[in-house]
Chain A
């Protein structure tokens, strides 16, 4: 970039007086400011009513919530000790490799079991929230029954890609540091990405 061009940028950034520019650069400056002024004409319209209508959506009545709970698909949550989760993973691996040699969990071809493990020594509660819980807490809650700071839980999830985060003590959102795959959450942080394959245990673990 020439020194002449640089002066135009300095003027547009308010670093030097625009009057000090030579006539040709004065024209360029007016051209750019004119373009910006034209673009400053906002399109008509408003999203106020649309957004507020979405925010004012009334909560469902208890009866409707019950009906929704009975008819909507749910992730199943159960707690296992780490040693048992390893054993479970081994069993599931065997079942996946030798499906015809013995009974296994009753899962459809569109489901898989996922185990979440996180190390949060000072936590009082750990939730997993994600695209599969509509980012709501209280649906997938991890357990630490032996109080060793390792929280875990397993769920059955539909096959496919799922984003998730840990929520510690109901307020601290923590990205699983060992997830291996991440996607931007749109707010400057990253969600962990989980890929569920049919009838194969997937471990998502965190250490903190």
Chain B
């Protein structure tokens, strides 16, 4: 099989692909990357406020995931496991962000109003939302993103974060309220 062209079986369950990788088929890991990288990059970008740093965090997370794939106890829940690893990488990056560096709230928004792919009004709205999101605490930001942007269930979020479901619900609720307040102030 040519390198870089794994047999893509869109419907293959994650557990089957994990078994292939663990059986020595390195290229099969490319299927996992293709399947989850856009969500992971989006999540990391929203968490870190920088698409470049997010790409580093996701790439490092995926390499770590490959090297420790045998320790993934439930391959059927690979998605949660990958978000957990990338979430941990994001936390490391945020912890390393020194006080003299730009804080997330001060960082420029990722949306570029001049981007022709976005209409101006939509881009401006996105800038406002990104700014409001950056004002949330790390935990609330993560909870809102996982629930409403990545579409994880509370059960998946619990598996990913190791937190109890009532705790996560409370974080999501508080994140919604804080976000609403921030969005109302901007209007």
Contact = CB atoms under 8 A, between A and B. Distances in A.
A32 B63 contact: no
Nearest to B174: A1
Contacts of B152: none
B79 interface: no
B145 interface: yes
Interface in A1-19: 1, 5, 8-9, 12-13
A47 B54 CA distance: 10
A33 B183 CA distance: 12
A52 B180 contact: no
A56 interface: yes
Given A48-B30, A54-B63, A187 B51 contact: no
B30 A38 contact: no
Contacts of B158: none
B177 interface: yes
Interface string B71-87: 10000000000001100
Interface stretch (B10-18, B99-107, B128-136): B128-136
Chain B: interface size category:
35 or more
Interface residues of A, number: 34
B130 A39 contact: yes
Nearest to A171: B70
A39 B122 CA distance: 11
A186 B64 contact: yes
Nearest to A32: B176
A52 B45 CA distance: 21
A55 interface: yes
* Interface hub of A8, A12, A36 (most chain B Cβ within 10 A): A36
A28 interface: yes
B84 to A, nearest CB: 7
Contact of B59 (A13, A28, A41, A47): A47
A105 interface: no
A5 B169 CA distance: 14
Interface in A27-74: 28, 31-36, 38-43, 45-48, 50-52, 54-56
Interface of A: 1, 5, 8-9, 12-13, 28, 31-36, 38-43, 45-48, 50-52, 54-56, 173, 184, 186-188
Interface of B: 3-4, 26-27, 29-30, 33-34, 37-39, 41-42, 45-46, 51, 54-55, 58-59, 62-64, 66, 68, 71, 84-85, 88-89, 92, 110, 118, 122, 125-126, 129-130, 132-133, 144-145, 148-149, 162, 169, 172-173, 176-177, 179-180, 183-184
